[in-house]
Each structure stands twice: as structure tokens, then as C-alpha cells.
Structure 1
């Protein structure tokens, strides 16, 4: 059933008679905003507070409250929470601070006790260190945020989940000042017993919530997000997040490239993008993106290739530059579209994208309409952006009427950026009535389009991945029994899952190496093989381009000597040298929050120096694997043949399947995964982890 955002009665344990204090403000706000339910102040030192009878204990309250707020010193909280749950209260908000956020053993112990009590009673206990909860539509203001000082609360379809009460309250004020109506609001505090994603999941199923906004520092059980996004309601929910705390956590030393690269921020960014979460890093952008979603609706959000029509050539150039910075694609207009538009432009205009109509076209409604229509009818244009520069009054209103009328005839999103100009009210009302969002700053307009584009782009792959398990369990592993595969064994395992590997032979002597090279054919690669050596290049453990037997003999002798200094049992592989066009890196690691995640990125020796990687939660579908490839920015993916793309996707999904069958693995690397003329080949690999415990399978 979840948390009850509409309690019929509220007990405030530790209520103050001073309604300006934190412990008195909830009473003040409940009265101010018209809460109609019963309110029970609990304080053994008072007989009456704010005209209400005050009770000495929760047991003395004449009915079991639907919600209890606990506002007492930390040392008293666990006992009071236990009392509330014992009398049958199902929802509790612990406002009190002084728990794990203090870093003391005592505070952490009290917080664990709150978690235990909530689990024992199957109750929802928010906090500790929470500012409370608000239901804007019913006046439930069980909260002390200054955002409630407003005389009138704007009610609407946006709900807010925040891990910071104070900053979340400030963002709420900004949203309200911008005219955004809110529905439900909850500050999760330290999340001892219930985390932010539990509320996001509940609000996704709330018929009165269309958008969820969040202030997020991190998720305690991040796989809840994956579970939500494996459902239709989750896929269709716009979740707008202001995420902070993006610096990397201290991580234990990792043997694989993937483990080193998979810092908290890199994984979070990629997984949020994978699941269509609209992540922003700017509070004004949070407001603007939320407004954009409300104004257009989920099915008409701007996305994809932009067709830009501008009344200013300079503004068009600025838009092109900023779009490139953000990775937004400007549509390539067809010859027919350029011809249609060019017919109406003066010689100093431009029919290429961005289209520069110049001010001359604005004097002809027919010409402006024809240019709009031509862009909207071009199959290469997914979204139309109209940049209006310094146009005012009556002429601006005529343009608004024309654009809205034409827009209604097509099913493509239209966005207006109106920079400068006066007397805008009439036109803004016209745009708003037609569901056309209006921005003033072109850069912020494009940032908003880029942000919501992640939500639009993710939906098809999420629908295609609904049948994949959302929660992947890893068996208990014995950290005293490490397990590591050599390159030879790792590549044999890869081959079992359809990942192509080059022809090679494992040898332990110079003579065996020479014989293997003659059998394979030249040129060959000779490499050290040892479970004690993770990265052979760092000790000079690879010899490329060995073109004859003498070169192989010399390389083998040198490498056996180098490797023998590290590992007495060192061996070699003699491997057919693969001709390739590009190097990728593929890997797997166990993220602290999201569990098993798979990485794809720029490979070879540049994997740790060039920041061009992306991640997906395991298991990975073919649709998601294809998206990963498209997200790489330094690899010329657009030049890949269909066969090359398919081979890379096969490798990604193959490694995903491999892990699902071998969950003892905690880190794996396929680097490089080389893209050949007709496929993809894993020319090096490693896999490590731990043996399962005897009782954990």
C-alpha cells in the first residue's frame, strides 16, 4: 500500500508551544494551509498548544494516529518510535537529527535501531533528519520547510522527492515561484528504513502525479530504479533529477581497467541515461525542464534531429555551436526542403539548417508559413525550433498564430526561443494554449531539449528490455578464495558465449612457440600468460608483428625471462595477429549501488586516458547494447558497417550472458575488442572474482 500521503490524523510528538520553532512550525502550517484532519500535540510538559489539547504520550492520544511526527532529542527517538509502532501507527516521520550524519557510533547505532523497528512492524519510518512531508492538494503540511510560508500553495501534477530537506525546500520555492503546481513532497533524510526510490516508485503509480522531481545524492538500493523502469508505468514516468555528490568514492584497488574507470559518477550518469532519467546539474534548468515536460506532455517532448528556423543569422550560428557542444544533431535538410524554403528567401538568407529567414520573411505570413511547413514535412526533422529575435507586439502575435496553427497540423514537437522583444503577453498565452514551450535563452533552450531527449531516447530500449530481470543477485563469495582466469582461459570462456577470439596456442618454451607460429602463420603476436600479471603491456609483455620464426624465438626467450621474474609458472601465447580498424574496450564490474554493470568504450592502451566510456546494468539487451555503441564520441561509429555494429552488439550481450551464468566474476576485461573489416574479435581478456562460499552456492 505504501506511505499514506493523506493521513486523517497526525500526532506531533515533541510539539512546541512556540509556533516559530522547528517543533512548532508543523502545527502552524497545518492550520495555515487548511488541514481538515485531527492533530494531536504530544508533550508531557504542556496541557494545551495552539488551542489544542496536548497529550503526555502517544499512548494517551484518543485514537491511533495515521501519522506520527517525532521531534525530540536523538537519544529519546528510538524509544518513542517503538511506542508509536506498538500502538499501531503505520507511518512515522523522524524529524530529529543527531544520527549517522554525526559520524558517531552512538548516532549510527540509533539509526540502525530505527531500521530494525520499521522492519519488525512492517511500517514506513521516514528519516531521521527529515524535514517532513506535504500533500499540496489536501493541506497536509507535516513539515517545517520555509517553502510553506507562502499564503497560497500552487497545486499541480509534480511530486518532489528530496534527500535534502533544506535544499529541497528551496527548490520547491523556485518551482512555485515559476508557477509549477506541486502535488506531493517528501524529504527522506538519512533514509534509515526507506529510501528515495521507494517513494519515486509509489508516486509513479499515483494517478495525480505526472512528473517526479528529485534532489539526489545517491541511492541506497539503486536497483529499485531498474525495477521501476522495467514496468510500463516506470518507463512512461518523467523523473527529473538534480544530482549532486558526483565526485568518486574511494574504491578498493581494482585489477581491471573497468574497475578503475567505473567511478560512482560515471556509472550513475550512464545508468540514469539508460533509464531515461532526466538528470540536470543546474537548479534553473531543473525548473525549466519541469515546465517543458508539463507544457508539452510526454508524447510531444522535443527530441532527435533539430530543424531550426531563425529570424537572425547570428542566432542561428549560436544555436549551431551550442547544439554541437551538447551533442544535439541538426537535421540535414533534403534538397526538396531547401528548394521550397529558398524560394521565399532573399539572397542574403540561408535555406540550410539552421534556416535564416531574415527579417524580410517575417513581413509575409504566407512565406513564413511555407518555410515552417517545409521543415515540418521533412522526414529528417524530428523537432522544430523557432528562434525569434527581438520581435514585439502585433507582429509577434501574428507569428504566434501562424506557428500554432501550422504546428497543430503535424505530429512533431515545436519549441520557441524568443530572445528580446516587448509586449509578449498575448503571444505567450497563444503559445501556452497550444502546448508550445517558450524559452528566452537559446543555450538554456537547447540544454532543456538535450535533457528531456534522454527520456525520449531511452523509452524504446526500455520497452524492449522489460522481460529482462531487474534485480541480479550475486551469490555470497569467499573473499579468502580468489579466482582468476588467465588470458587463455578467459578467452575460452568468451568463445563459449559467441565472442570471437583469434587463433592461438599456449606454449611454455621457445621451441613450442616457434612450432606454434609456423602452424598459425605469420605475422603473430607473442604474449606473456600469467594469473599474476594483469596488464602485460606495463612490463613489456607483448610482442607484435613477429614476421618469421627467428623473431618469434627471440621474443619468446625475452618474454619467458621477463615473466619468470614475476611468476615461476609463466607461459606464453602465440596468437594470429588480427588486422583491425578500431579498438574498443569491453568490461564488467560490480558497482556498489547498481550491482553488475557492463562497460563499453574506447579501447586499447587509451582506455584509461581517453574518457569515452558508457555503462549499462546487467543483463543488457541488444537494443541497449546498440545505444551504448551510439553513445561513444571518439569512435567513428557512423562509419561502421551493419556487420561491424552487429558483431559489437553480439560481444556486449555475450559478455552480459556470460556473467549471468558465472556470477563468481567481480571484474572482467575484454581489451582490446578490435573491430575488423567484417566483425569484432577479443584479442585480450581477463576475468577475476572469488569462489562462492560453501553455503552460498
Structure 2
């Protein structure tokens, strides 16, 4: 479906100018250069309203005048003219069009973009853009970007503006042309090969999901890199990522909008905490993608994944000739969730023998990290690495610091020979911007060992790569959306629904007067909790609408009167007051909602009054399996507390996973429900109870 964008038989560039600085001309010149060099095999045509000839070749007035089948059309003309140009191209039989031109919805011109979309719908042509740099494919020479590799400085000299990578296996899909250029430049500077790059722009037709699906099937692609600002079809993207993962490809995702704040007060804690970023990144991790925090980290992880297989375990061997770096490396490796276990006694004895025989420096301490000192030669590196390479370390971090006099380029060949046969995931570090530092990194990368400029970057990339797992699931089901205005769920409906899904709720009584309150208190027993019953009030504890530790009948009467007075002021006295048994235990949060892009999602994390303070939550697409629920437990920053901490007993992980899995089916099986939250869900030993719950439900209009 998208092949015409990357490997067309013929290309027409619309908007070619006599001015070499105009975008259309720059694109045509770049394609022509690729054709002259023999990389681009496509037939190339120029279309313009201002010139009739270029480089001795005819320039056409419109695509339909070209006496040839044109597969791909690149459009760089003023925005108002674009719909007619696209319609003309489609009428001539073009299969695909890249609209470089801006000035559509991103500039407030939504009507023009709507008109362009209508042309696409009516003609069936595939459109990438508008407001994009299009595609770059080093294999076919198709390059619709308008940058030049070199540009002149003010003094008349020329410098490289961007380092275009060699052919490789990393595909970049971006919503930003600038971010794509930056990523391409970083890959090129590090010697990492590019499969192709595609920028979606305003996504009038071709979107991120379609391109991810395309590269999932592409045999030349091993790593797919995604830069995402916003997406409508989140479930589609999840399925494209799953497809890629099951085809053995790695997926690296950078999502913008982490600090975006909603414009209206949220009905539940979860709605205020779980924003687009949390939902998107949690679901992408569930699908097997690696989520990163910046462009540099995105390129670091892609660099690593393009050359090395994922680590078989988190045990990390550190080998260096620089003591300070060995300390920092060990620190950062462990800070990022990896491990630096000691060497086996057998390996220690081998290293002691090498030290005694002069094979490695006499000051070497046989430990992990293994610091050979600044006196180590390349031969010493080779011998030491041979001695430790057969240990059960899933990760090898090699740091042949180039500054010490004995070190030279031959260390690369010696280390690479062992690294390529050791079965571990191998990465290297050599620091600085000197010719030597860049040379060592370049040689290592060219020989299959990704080299980083800092131990921090290497440790973070290795940690992210070690966490990437291929999910067992092969698809995420489609979901049903119910239109309408959601309203608070009645408490009776809430409790019944939770019971149907195996969620036990705290025993409670709903009362409307003091006599009923006292009778209910005696029935439930002390201590107990009392709260305003109305589902219309959010964050009741902040308003004084929840009172804990009620221990006597007198106290119960006083609290009931206080709460009824408060309810009267809030206009919800008719809903009464709830008396509830006191549930002591670890307080967690369990919620579900319908996300407009990802569909039903389920969120789990630390709960209670500190939910928003700790913000330790994980969100997955629903429904989840029990195995995925276990992954959710393990994903929490404070996951150790679930295994028992001080006076908090460990939870029954498998029972909680079953509960999460059951709960996650509520919205998929009841699509009229918009949100449902339990906070807190208290756990003490085998007792698990929903203490407070609330929800929103839409009266179905399209079921």
C-alpha cells in the first residue's frame, strides 16, 4: 500500500523553481543528484508554473501533461493550490503524493485541510502530509527532504549541515520534521545505518500507525523508531507494534506531552493523574515497545538495538582501564536496575594466574568491575576479556579509555573478536570529542559493538533494552464507544457491578437519620468509617466528608450530625451518609476508563490519600491477562512494598493479578461505563476489599 512512497518507478516534483533556495527546487536537486549518482532508479520529472526548462530538461505545467505513468508526486506549492494539484495528480493515475507545503490545520486553516482530505477520499490516492519533509530512503534514493548536506558559512567556507547515515536497519517515523532531521544527524554521526525515515505531518491520510505496520513487514528493518505527539488510532498502533515485535523487530518510542495538564477538574483521582502520556506509554510498553525520555536516549537505544540482540539477563560485566569510570559505570548500571554480580571463583583464579604471569597489570584486582589500570595494553585487554567472557553475564560493558599511553587502535580488533562470539549483549564507552575518542567509537560501531560517549548513556540504554520483552498476546481487540454525556453511577449499581466481577467491597450501611446511624453502627461494630454518600462529590476527604476511627456510639452520633450538615451545605443531603467497616491494610488504586485513542484501559498503583503525591501507577490496555497484571505489579517504582515491608505483610500476587484481570473486563463487557475507580483497595494478608469506589456511566445511544 505504501511502497510507492519508498520505491516508485517515477517521480514528479511540483513547485520546481528557478531559485535554488526554494523548497521545490531543493527537493528536485536532491533527487536529481541521487539519480546522477546511480542510487535513484526512478524516472524524474519537474512541474512548475514559473519555468519551462531545467538542466536542459522540459518542465511541465501540471502532472497530467507528463506523457508517462507517474507513481509518486511531491508537492511544494502554496497551500491554496495543493488540493487542485493533488486532484490533477490522482486523475493522471498517481498512486502516492507527498505534500511538503504547510499552511493547513497547523496554521488554523482547517477548511483547506478538510478540502484536501476530501480529494483523497474521492480519488483514493495515498497522501503523506501536508506540512512534512516526506520520506528519505537511502536504499532507493528517494529523498523528498529539502535539506542540503553542506551549507556555506559567512566567510565563504562550507560546512556539513547534517550527517546522512549509511544504509542500515533503523526506520524512523516522526510527527516532526525537525526531530527527524536531528535523529538522522545523530545516527549518521554515530555511524548507525538508516533503513528509511518518514514524517507524517498533519496525517490527513497516511499516519503513524500505517507506517509502523509497513515497516513491521519490511525485511530490511530491524528497529522502528517513533516520535509521537498525538495519535487518534492508539489501538491500531498497539497492534502494529505487536506485529513488529512478533517479527523480531525492536520498537523505540518517544512521546511528547509528558507534562500536559488537562483543562478541567477531573472527576476521579485517576482521571486527573492518568493523562495521555501515562496511557500511551503504559500501553506501548505492554505491547513490547521501549519508551524513552528524549531524542538522545531514543537514538542511543536504537543504536544499541540495531547492532546487538537483547540481553539474556541483567547481570553486567564491566571491563576497563580507568578506575574512576569503573566506579561510575557500576553505580549507573545498578541505579538503572541492572546488576554487577561478583566473578566466580574459577574466573578469579584465572585472572590471578594472568596477573602472576604478567599477562595483565600487577595492580589488577580480580573483581567486577574489572579495572586493568592505565598501564594495560591492548593485549592485556584481550587476555582479561578472554578470561571472563564465558561467565554468565548477559551484558558486557567495555571501556577501553584511549588516553593512557599503552592504548592504541588494535584494542578494537581484539575486543570485537571476543565480543562477537561471546553470546552477551556488548556495548562500549570511550569518552570525549577528541579525534581519538571519536575514532575508537567509530571503529567499534563499524564492527558491531555500539559505542557511547558516556557511561550514563550506555547504562540507560542497556537498562531500557534489557526491559524489552515480546508479549505473548498477538493482538488488542477493537473496542466499542458509546456517545453521550456520562453521569455518576448510583452506588447500588456500583456495588452490584463490582460483586459481579469478584471484587469484595467493605461492609457498609446507607442511613438517612440519627437512629438509623446508631443502629447501623452497632451492627457493623467499632471502629468504623463514616462518609457522605453522594457520588456527585469528588475528593470527599478534602472537604471533611470522610471521618475515620469512629469508636463509640456517642462519636457516631456526633459525626453523623456533622456530615449531614456538610451534605446539606453541598446540596446532597438527600443521598444520605454511609457507615462502613474500618479496613486497615496496604492501600492501592485500581481503576478503569475509556481513553479516546487507546480504548478501555486499566490502571493499578499505590492508592489512598497519597495517590497523587506518589503518582506510582501503571496503565495497560484492557482487558489484561493475569500475566500482564503481574507485569503491572512489577512495573511500579515501589514494587518492593508489595512483597512486604516492615509491618506491611506481602500481598498474594497471583490473587491480585486475577483480580486486576477480572476488573479489566468491566468496560470491554459494559461499554456504557466511562470510568470506574476503586481508591483505596485495601489489602492485608488474604483480605482484599474495595473501600471507596465511584464511576461514570453514559446512557447508551448507539448500542
TM over 0.5: yes
- Whether 1:2 aligns to 2:2 is yes
Matches within 5 A, 1:396-435: 407=419, 410-419=422-431, 435=448
Match of 1:223 in 2: 235
Residue 657 of structure 1: CA displacement? 0.7
For 2:229 and 2:494, locate their aligned partners in 1 and report how far apart those are by CA, in whole Å: 37
Q: How many residues are paired up?
A: 675
User: Could you give the per-residue CA deviations for residues 126-164 of structure 1, whole angstroms, max 9, x where no partner exists?
Assistant: 111122323211222233233598898722222222222
Question: Aligned pair in 2 of structure 1 residues 622, 141: CA closer, same or farther (>3 Å)?
Answer: same
- Whether 1:61 aligns to 2:70 is no
Q: Is the 8 A contact 1:491 1:684 kept in 2?
A: no
User: Could you give the per-residue CA deviations for residues 242-265 of structure 1, whole angstroms, max 9, x where no partner exists?
Assistant: 443433154433210111012233
State the secondary structure of the residue aligned to 2:19.
Answer: coil
Match of 2:288 in 1: 276
Match of 2:481 in 1: 474
Question: Aligned pair in 2 of structure 1 residues 189, 317: CA closer, same or farther (>3 Å)?
Answer: same
Match of 1:691 in 2: 699
- Whether 1:521 aligns to 2:525 is yes
Residue 547 of structure 1: CA displacement? 3.0
Question: Aligned pair in 2 of structure 1 residues 335, 61: CA closer, same or farther (>3 Å)?
Answer: closer
Q: Is the 8 A contact 2:105 2:113 kept in 1?
A: yes
Q: Is the 8 A contact 1:44 1:56 kept in 2?
A: yes
Residue 516 of structure 1: CA displacement? 2.9
For 2:380 and 2:100, locate their aligned partners in 1 and report how far apart those are by CA, in whole Å: 62
Question: Aligned pair in 2 of structure 1 residues 584, 387: CA closer, same or farther (>3 Å)?
Answer: farther
Alpha-carbon RMSD across the aligned residues, in angstroms, is 3.5
User: Could you give the per-residue CA deviations for residues 220-278 of structure 1, whole angstroms, max 9, x where no partner exists?
Assistant: 32222212133355663223344434331544332101110122333333333333333
- Whether 1:87 aligns to 2:66 is no
Match of 1:368 in 2: 384
Q: 2:143 aligns with which of 138, 141, 144?
A: 141
For structure 2, list consecutive stretches of 5 or more residues without a partner in the other structure: 152-161, 356-360
- Whether 1:198 aligns to 2:210 is yes
Match of 1:490 in 2: 494
For 2:141 and 2:475, locate their aligned partners in 1 and report how far apart those are by CA, in whole Å: 40
State the secondary structure of the residue aligned to 1:157.
Answer: strand
Q: Which moved more, 1:169-178 or 1:111-120?
A: 169-178
Q: Which moved more, 1:682-691 or 1:268-277?
A: 268-277
For 2:239 and 2:418, locate their aligned partners in 1 and report how far apart those are by CA, in whole Å: 41
Question: Aligned pair in 2 of structure 1 residues 36, 315: CA closer, same or farther (>3 Å)?
Answer: closer
Residue 60 of structure 1: CA displacement? 1.8
Residue 404 of structure 1: CA displacement? 5.2
Match of 2:156 in 1: none
Q: Is the 8 A contact 2:505 2:691 kept in 1?
A: yes
Match of 2:116 in 1: 114
Question: Aligned pair in 2 of structure 1 residues 322, 176: CA closer, same or farther (>3 Å)?
Answer: same
For 2:71 and 2:496, locate their aligned partners in 1 and report how far apart those are by CA, in whole Å: 60
Match of 1:448 in 2: 461
Match of 2:252 in 1: 240
For 1:519 and 1:307, locate their aligned partners in 2 and report how far apart those are by CA, in whole Å: 63
Question: Aligned pair in 2 of structure 1 residues 328, 337: CA closer, same or farther (>3 Å)?
Answer: farther
Q: Which moved more, 1:239-248 or 1:352-361?
A: 352-361
Match of 2:539 in 1: 535
Residue 67 of structure 1: CA displacement? 1.1
For 2:340 and 2:42, locate their aligned partners in 1 and report how far apart those are by CA, in whole Å: 56
Matches within 5 A, 1:279-298: 279-296=291-308
Q: Is the 8 A contact 1:579 1:676 kept in 2?
A: yes
For 1:493 and 1:568, locate their aligned partners in 2 and report how far apart those are by CA, in whole Å: 25
Question: Aligned pair in 2 of structure 1 residues 58, 395: CA closer, same or farther (>3 Å)?
Answer: closer
Match of 1:32 in 2: 33
For 1:235 and 1:557, locate their aligned partners in 2 and report how far apart those are by CA, in whole Å: 64
For structure 1, list consecutive stretches of 5 or more residues without a partner in the other structure: none
Residue 370 of structure 1: CA displacement? 7.7
Q: Is the 8 A contact 1:584 1:671 kept in 2?
A: yes
